[in-house]
Amino acid sequence: MTWPAFHLFGRGVQLEMPLDAPPHDGRSLLVRLRALGLKGIRRCVLTTNRAVMVSYRGDELRVHASYLNAPRHVLLAIVTFVHGRSRRARRAAEQLILEHAPRLSPGERPRRRRRAPNSRQEDAHLVAELTRHHELYNRQYFGGGLARIAIHVSGRMRSRLGQYTAAGDDAAPEITIGRSHIRRHGWDEALHTLLHEMVHQWQAEHGLALDHGAAFRAKARDIGIEPRARRAVTRSSFGGGAIVGGPVSIPKFAGTE
């Protein structure tokens, strides 16, 4: 994510704030978090994103605005989320942060529920194979660290090969692969797309931006897939077992529709 932000700590500049004064903006929240042990973060941006409460990338931290009023132990959890040395510590911090997540206020309308992909009964074997490969790739490329996730095959995806959808207010995260993508381009390409979306899942579960920036490209290269948002695909028959991925547009090639 490329976000609006501001630099806080210039050379020779010192920010001070009484520790009993509640933070009121990103700048003062950063001061409070630094007093609690946060290091290496130079910018703090407040958000109203209900899907992601806290995320960081490089020297920038993004925090939902509701955490301005969070108690000290929740702010400490944010620090642990950034600096935790073990997965267990980070998971515990995430749980504490989510317990303080904002709730709908009286009269506020909830967001529309996510429209379920139109998986068909005849897609069941495809979903089962995609799920099996997710488990396989999770062990092989991510050390088994990714959570289990719902996988769908959708007939609605006309211009995208696949999609990772982050958790929302009332929906769990999911990965969707286009039925036409599998039919037109073959199983090898569909598995590459699955692995591409798993990199996005990895980003989300590590509090990273869901984009195709430096973190995505580095991870993609590490596991051996194309480190790009778009890739060229051509019509193929079913079969094979190589891997190919992503929320990418299907280009018009000779032999493709």
Residue 250 has pLDDT above 50, yes or no: no
CATH code of the domain in which 168 resides: 3.30.2010.10
Summarize pLDDT for 84-102 with one digit per residue, the tens.
888 888 888 888 888 887 7
Instruction: Categorize the per-residue pLDDT at 38 as very low, low, confident or very high, splitting at 50, 70 and 90.
Output: very high
Tell me the average pLDDT across 29-33: 93
Q: How many domains does the chain have?
A: 2
Task: Pull the structure tokens for residue 255.
Answer: 């032999």
Closest CA to 195 of 119, 251, 128, 140: 140
More confident site: 77 or 3: 77
More confident site: 237 or 107: 107
Tell me the average pLDDT of the chain.
76
Query: What pLDDT sits at residue 84?
Result: 85
In a domain, 194, yes or no: yes
Q: What residues are paired with 43 via a beta bridge?
A: 60
CA distance 244 to 189: 5
**Range in 69-73, 205-209, 244-248, 252-256 the model is least confident about:** 252-256
Closest CA to 180 of 158, 195, 150: 158
Tell me the average pLDDT across 130-134: 95
In a domain, 64, yes or no: yes
Query: What pLDDT sits at residue 103?
Result: 65
Query: What pLDDT sits at residue 152?
Result: 92
In a domain, 90, yes or no: yes
- Show which of 69, 99, 129 is a domain's final residue: 99
Instruction: Categorize the per-residue pLDDT at 13 as very low, low, confident or very high, splitting at 50, 70 and 90.
Output: very low
Tell me the average pLDDT across 25-51: 88
In a domain, 169, yes or no: yes
Domain hosting 56: range is: 26-99
Instruction: Categorize the per-residue pLDDT at 240 as very low, low, confident or very high, splitting at 50, 70 and 90.
Output: very low
Tell me the average pLDDT across 236-240: 36
Name the percent of the chain lying above pLDDT 90: 34
Do 158 and 86 fall within a single domain?
no
Query: What pLDDT sits at residue 231?
Result: 57
Instruction: Categorize the per-residue pLDDT at 242 as very low, low, confident or very high, splitting at 50, 70 and 90.
Output: very low
More confident site: 187 or 119: 187
Residue 83 burial (CB count, 10 A): 15
More confident site: 145 or 238: 145
Query: What pLDDT sits at residue 11?
Result: 38
Alpha helices in 172-213 (DSSP H): 179-185, 187-205
Do 213 and 130 fall within a single domain?
yes
Task: Pull the structure tokens for residue 30.
Answer: 């950063």
In a domain, 255, yes or no: no
Q: Are 9 and 53 in contact (CB under 8 A)?
A: no
In a domain, 186, yes or no: yes
